[in-house]
Structure 1
């Protein structure tokens, strides 16, 4: 048996590419396996929000705060422009009854060190004149930012290749190779590839792979539909979410049975303007299996909801629609760390809408765990064998 690498990384999205880069940076020989083309999963069909305000106080926000610090120098470190813009972010509040809930949410975030404040509707319109007159308030933070997800993937992989990373595209991992209680490689159809350690980062494909070793990994695909507009002059200056986005993310059960189609589709506004001038508008949150198609109902719900908050969107043409699958977990937390009872096996999957924000700290932490055997980041809340309760 000839070893193919010190570490095999499965998946090439923002999480897998960050893990591969950080492993290579620590001197490990790394082989990346990608079932399709690089970054062709969730990372190719999402927004580029590095937004901390959407993270619930606790492990979510702690990870995001640590990641944001790494983002500040990431383009320089990788010697690659990842499209990082420290633009700040806002969460838009449409109804008076949501103000108190956001005050409590924000207060807990501030206790953990997030620079965030609540402003009135009039103050929000001074900061962002395009907002509708019915907006009653917003939370705002200067620490929020945006990146280009595919630039990130390319940046990480390009930098990792300089450190020796090898990549096999169109190579789907179909099973693990075991030697008693240890994972010593993966099978790709009839091919066998061997390594001291394996890190699984292909979130949507991870449950099928883990089932081969009798391990249940409750990651469920959740479709997000988005719209891209024609380029226009600067319309907004921050990345924006609406408060309903947070409800859709953390409490999907509250959306079921609503008479409002956009509520049933889990629509919560995500809005950013790219460097080229196009606006990215999202998104739905739907449990429809592996269906990645955009639908008329989904696109209509997304655009109408966003246009209610930013009326100028009604006069801007959409040029493209697309959808991606987000890796949802029942308690809203990703799976990160060593896999119990299977030495040499690690996972970093199930980040759903947190993948972009978490990517730098996830890669650094998993690399430390694999190479050094320990990390200073507490991964207990993200353990594979944790007790999972719906949030």
Structure 2
């Protein structure tokens, strides 16, 4: 019978990061993924590592610490994943958002983010594809980007070299608990005795938690992204819009379908144009108005997108907690059951630090211990 010191459930950027870090500590780790590595949430998102979009304070501090890890991560993992220091912009498309953005920029500066507010000319000089009708934009050189699929594979490959066994196309059907402690994981194929289970199943984490008798406040938030044909460079770095940031951080009503601009371009030249944000359960069938609405909003900010052919779209689900932070904690009533989920749109940005946070949680020591207090499950009670 195969045994493990730890079983990680979920093979996206979060689960593979955790498996890699736990194996560094000489633990025997098995990672279980229902599909392929990076095939779910990590394979249906954009590529941005945005610092400036985070809420000032602890969320910014957490994202900044994770961004710092990215600087040397390709060299550490030994596999390139298209990490680029391209910078990022939040475009202000209406005067009504300007006071909020000005205040937001000042708070981000106080939080240690290198960010500046550009007027219309400065913004279009930096990003010539922007509409002349914009009011201005922010800019931060600290924002970056990666290829999420390659990142998942890089963590997985490095984990394998550390001895991690990766079981793809394997479904977890039960978590065995005895006397309030984890004792094993039952898959559709085998039973694996273990004293540690890490739930890194993203939006599907509540299903795994139910097996352990744990309740977590994570909901799937559906998002759609348009993908263009391969074209010559249209944008530098990544672009968000103030409508998205305001809806994220203010109490104002979200726009129809939760649409806000998220724009980036892959190394191959495909544009990723997003995005919608809706609570529709796990229903992948989107309304017929959603994709045209995404396209209309995007072309109002970057008019040249109207001349580019869209070849497909993708729909994914983000694990939403309500306060913009993930849950990284051990379940109170199931010793050895670790929750590492709820990153919503910050999974790519926070993947590097999440593996280290779970390691520190299990070791009860480490550089990032101080972060864990604010990521506990009981903050929702």
* TM-score, reference length from structure 1: 0.93
TM-score, normalised on structure 2? 0.96
**Match of residue 372 from structure 2:** 379
Q: How does 1:197-216 map to 2 (within 5 A)?
A: 197-216=196-215
Per the alignment, in what secondary structure is the counterpart of residue 322 of structure 1?
A: strand
Aligned-partner SS, 1:342: coil
Q: Say yes or no: does 1:309 pair with 2:308.
A: no
CA contact (8 A) 1:340 1:384 kept: no
- 1:260 corresponds in structure 2 to none
Tell me, yes or no, if structure 1 residue 281 matches structure 2 residue 280. no
Alignment of 1:300-339 (within 5 A): 300-339=292-331
- Gaps of at least 5 residues in structure 2 are none
Q: Which secondary structure state, in structure 1, belongs to the residue aligned with residue 5 of structure 2?
A: strand
Q: Is the 8 A contact 2:223 2:316 kept in 1?
A: yes
After TM superposition, list the pairs within 5 Å mapping 1:1-391 onto structure 2.
4-189=3-188, 191-250=190-249, 254-255=253-254, 263-370=255-362, 372-377=363-368, 378-387=371-380
Match of 1:259 in 2: none
Partners of 1:152 and 1:249 lie apart in 2 by 26
Calculate the aligned-residue CA RMSD, in Å.
Answer: 1.6
Number of corresponding residues: 379
Alpha carbons of 1:253 and 1:344: their partners in 2 closer, same or farther (altered >3 Å)?
A: farther
Deviation for aligned residue 1:247: 3.1
1:373 deviates by: 2.0
Contact kept? 1:294, 1:321, Cα under 8 Å: no
How many Å separate the matches in 2 of 1:127 and 1:189?
A: 53
Displacement of 1:183 after TM fit?
A: 1.0
Gaps of 5+ in 1: 256-262
Deviation of the 1:26 alpha carbon: 2.1
Shift of 1:364: 1.3
Distance 1:58 1:184 in 2: 38
1:352-389 Cα shifts (integer Å, max 9, x gaps):
0010000001111112222x22343322222111136x
How far is 1:248 from its partner? Answer: 3.6
Measured in 1, the distance between the counterparts of 2:212 and 2:165 equals 26
Divergent runs of 4+, >4 A: 250-253
